[in-house]
């Protein structure tokens, strides 16, 4: 009987990523790998380099040095459109939603379905956008009464869910979430964590930046810790929340460092 071959090729691999802003070295040769159907928690103190690294992956920043691979193919990401074309979406902490638009309008913001167009005049196919938005909410099990509700009337958890749902609406396979549970109520946090679990079950790979270590522990498969622009830990999430928090904090403050022998290029 033949052996079943398992493809362990990461969906994302970043190698030796360096980025400086003047004299400030924000990233000092960071490696990152994200597997298919994985939730990777990315943690570290303020100015550790978390957001900078993710802005490189999402196209907001161009690295000074390093390589990025998607499904083992080297790619060039020089802007958000490049990352979006590769199936990468980033959900920011402030949701980036238009409060005066309804749910369907936000899902299709910038990618509206047009019924007909004459020069600069466009007539939107609102029925089709509403139908597809409803299908998206149902598929992700997002509890919203109507996609015609204005976003300004939604709860914090619902707003974050709409922002995350919008990121998946156009075949995103990699979603970066920047502090997705910050400033949310306990109930809203549970709603967002349930959505993350649902996305993973549907085959989406997720990188989650968060200061809430309990949320990383709840839904994450692996955690990577940055400190002063360097990777200091990268390991599976094990143990209870107290053990996990104690270990993560030790890496964040410099008491532990799995990559202390690095020469500065992100590798031993």
Whole-angstrom CA distances from 193 to 38, 40, 124, 165, 196 are: 14, 13, 33, 13, 5
Element (H, E) at 198: helix 186-201
- Classify domain 12-98+171-253 at the CATH class level: alpha beta
DSSP string, 127-155: HHHHHHHHHHHHHTT---S-TTSBGGGS-
Q: Quick one: pLDDT at residue 112?
A: 87
Q: How far apart (Å, rounded) are the C-alpha atoms in residues 7 and 110? A: 36
Lowest mean pLDDT among 30-34, 218-222, 253-257, 260-264: 260-264
DSSP letter (8 states) at residue 94: T
For 165-196, what is each residue's pLDDT tens digit?
898 888 899 999 999 998 788 988 999 999 99
Q: Is 96 left (phi over 0), alpha (psi -120 to 50) or beta?
A: left
Return the structure tokens found at 157: 């958890």
Q: Where are the domains of the chain?
A: 12-98+171-253
**What pTM did the predictor assign?**
0.88
Lowest mean pLDDT among 2-6, 45-49, 107-111, 167-171: 2-6
CB 117 within 8 A of CB 107: no
pLDDT band at 262 (very low <50, low <70, confident <90, very high): low
């Amino acid at each position: 009987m033949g052996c079943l071959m398992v493809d362990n090729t990461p969906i994302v691999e970043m190698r030796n990523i360096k980025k400086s802003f003047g004299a400030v070295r924000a990233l000092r040769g960071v490696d990152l790998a994200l597997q298919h159907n994985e939730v990777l928690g990315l943690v570290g103190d303020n100015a550790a380099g978390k957001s900078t690294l993710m802005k490189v992956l999402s196209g907001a920043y161009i690295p000074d040095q390093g390589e990025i691979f998607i499904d083992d193919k080297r790619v060039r990401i020089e802007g958000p459109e490049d990352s979006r074309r590769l199936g990468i979406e980033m959900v920011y902490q402030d949701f980036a939603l238009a409060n005066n638009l309804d749910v369907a309008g936000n899902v299709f913001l910038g990618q509206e379905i047009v019924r007909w167009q004459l020069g600069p005049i466009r007539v939107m196919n609102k029925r089709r956008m509403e139908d597809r938005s409803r299908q998206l909410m149902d598929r992700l099990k997002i509890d919203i009464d109507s996609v015609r509700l204005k976003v300004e009337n939604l709860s914090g958890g619902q707003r974050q869910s709409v922002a995350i749902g919008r990121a998946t609406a156009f075949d995103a396979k990699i979603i970066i979430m920047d502090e997705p549970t910050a400033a949310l109520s306990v109930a809203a946090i549970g709603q967002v964590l349930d959505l993350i679990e649902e996305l993973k079950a549907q085959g989406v790979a997720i990188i989650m930046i968060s200061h809430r270590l309990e949320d990383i522990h709840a839904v994450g498969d692996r955690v990577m810790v940055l400190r002063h622009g360097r990777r200091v830990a990268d390991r599976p999430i094990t143990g209870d929340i107290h053990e996990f928090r104690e270990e993560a904090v030790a890496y964040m403050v410099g008491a532990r460092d799995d990559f202390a022998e690095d020469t500065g290029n992100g590798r031993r």
